[in-house]
Structure 1
Amino acid sequence: MKEKQELQVTDVFTKSRIFTYLWIVFCPPYGLYRVLSPSSEFRRPEKWVWTMIVICTLVTYVKLIITG
């Protein structure tokens, strides 16, 4: 059981995932594209969570632009 948990933790910090996390922070649309692409390493629940985070981030950016 412990080996399985350790595997899951190390899966989160692969090189491609770290690049995707950075893209989500600095350019959310492209980061979302990387999360949802067919070659993505993300599992389905993770894709949903990252999609919601990017949507909330983009809505916040738009609100900041509109209200000044």
Structure 2
Amino acid sequence: MASQWGGALPPPPGIVPDFVNPPSQRDGNIALHTVLLSIVTIFVSIRIYTRIWITKLSLGLEDCQYT
């Protein structure tokens, strides 16, 4: 199929290909995952605290169901 098209297409006008050091979004992904994991950890901690100390109930099956 590559021979039918003559190889890869050239980049769009104004774009310079950089195969040696391509742009990366790794740092942004790490920051986003860190922030969201922190927020989720806080919310789960609040849920467990409320369930055990405020309502005086133990954790049950409804606390770990995926519905």
Provide TM-score, normalisation by structure 1. Answer: 0.35
Structure with more contact order per residue of length (Cα contacts < 8 Å, sep ≥ 6): 1
Which is greater in Rg? 2
Provide TM-score, normalisation by structure 2. Answer: 0.35
Structure holding more helix per residue: 1
